[in-house]
Amino acid sequence: MTAEGSLEFKRVDPATLTDLLQLARLHQAAFRAIGQAGWTQKSLAESCSMDGSLLIGAFSDSRPVGFAVFRCVLDEAELITLAVDPEHQGKSIASKLLKWSDAQLMQQDISSVFLEVRTDNAPAIRLYETVGFQSRSVRKGYYKVAGGSRVDAVIYSRVLS
């Protein structure tokens, strides 16, 4: 566990976390703000209980303000989702959370992280490029969006060091 000012990062055990509902609400609010649907408590619980899952939370005054879910396989981790409470965005919480996560991942011998992001999610793309992810490939029309149209996905990755 590490505290940065009033901000604290910790690995969260979803089996003991009573407040998955609070995290699901945070996820929904963050994604609603960009016109996407967030996760339900059930989908969050399912994702976090899969083999290799790692849930890392950012807490301000003990209240969750952001979190990331990774899935680790061998020496590689996928960033499955990342969300910061809209009321706390723009305060470097996501970039600090990703930096703190690096150390946790390296402790378990993870050497690279990859993720997928919609090409229309400019804030997330800026964030990932700022923290050192590089785009590797594009999956054309990967995401189906409201109205039946499709949006490309970009695969980003970065080597941990």
Ligand X SMILES: CC(C)(COP(=O)(O)OP(=O)(O)OC[C@H]1O[C@@H](n2cnc3c(N)ncnc32)[C@H](O)[C@@H]1OP(=O)(O)O)[C@@H](O)C(=O)NCCC(=O)NCCS
Selected binder of ligand X within 11, 126, 139, 144 (CB under 6 A): 126
Q: Name the token pair of 68.
A: 């990331």
Grouping H, G, I as helix, E, B as strand and the rest as coil, residue 48 is helix
Size of the site for ligand X (CB under 6 A): 20
Q: Is 116 a catalytic residue?
A: yes
Q: List the catalytic residue out of 8, 116, 142, 143.
A: 116
When the beta carbons of 109 and 129 are compared against ligand X, the nearer one is 129
3-state secondary structure of 139: strand
Q: How far apart are CA 47 and CA 34, in angstroms?
A: 22
* Partners of 156 in the β-ladder: 115, 135
Burial class (CB in 10 A: 0-12, 13-18, 19+), 144: exposed
Of 131 and 160, which CB lies nearer to ligand X in the complex structure?
Answer: 131
Residue 117 makes contact with ligand X by CB under 6 A: yes
Residue 26 interacts with ligand X (CB under 6 A)? no
- Three-state SS at 86: helix
156 catalytic per annotation: no
| Cα–Cα dist 83/39, whole Å | 10
Using CB under 6 A, pick the residue from 21, 49, 75, 90 that binds ligand X: 90
Does 60 participate in binding ligand X (rule CB under 6 A)?
A: no
Within residues 67-86, the interface with ligand X by CB under 6 A covers 82-84
Active site positions, annotated: 116, 128
Where on the chain is the footprint of ligand X (CB under 6 A)? 30-31, 34, 82-84, 89-95, 117, 121, 123-124, 126-127, 130
